[in-house]
Amino acid sequence: MEVDDDGTIAAQAFEFCDIKSIQDVQQMKTLDVCGIIGDVSENEMVNLRKGSQKVRKYITLIDDTGCSISLTLWATMCDRVGNDDIGKVLAVKGARVSEFGGKSLNAADDHSTLFPELNHERCKQLNKWYADL
């Protein structure tokens, strides 16, 4: 059964931070970011301090500020982005700011959500910007 959207349930709210201004954000703060996927690494296994292992992948996000940032995906999030997503917009809700080797972002299931090709005005702006390069 299909139900029409009557607007009574609010859409996911975002407060996107552009990549350039992330340089001024404190470590461990969470934020929403949206960017074009510029590069995707292969999955790699990482040994954790607790003795266990976890899968990690690096994504490079770029935006119309002319800046880029590394986004580290952890565990099951690694399976959600691949090389065929390069050039597409990715929005992240609740990315955590890190200062490991400069400013970067982390996304894991316990604090973040990925939104590929999100239907949002900021994402549309970035798609247009990237298409016009």
How many Å apart are CA 5 and CA 3, to the nearest integer?
6
Rounded (5°) CA angle 59-103-33: 55
pLDDT tens, the chain, 133 aa long = 666 656 555 567 899 999 999 999 999 999 999 999 999 999 999 998 999 999 999 999 999 999 999 999 999 999 999 999 999 999 999 999 999 778 999 999 999 999 999 999 999 999 999 999 8
Q: Which sequence spans correspond to the domains of the chain?
A: 20-45+60-131
Main-chain phi, psi angles of 8, to 5 degrees? -80, -20
Which segments of 17-120 does DSSP mark as H helices, in order? none
Residue 113 and residue 81 in contact, taking contact as beta carbons nearer than 8 Å:
no
The pTM score is 0.89
**pLDDT tens, residue by residue, 61-77:** 999 999 999 999 999 99
20-45+60-131 falls under which CATH superfamily? Nucleic acid-binding proteins (2.40.50.140)
- The pLDDT of residue 100: 77
Residue 125 CB-density burial (10 A; 0-12 exposed, 13-18 middle, 19+ buried): middle
What are the angstrom distances between the C-alpha of 33 and each of 1, 15, 17, 59, 60? 35, 8, 5, 13, 12
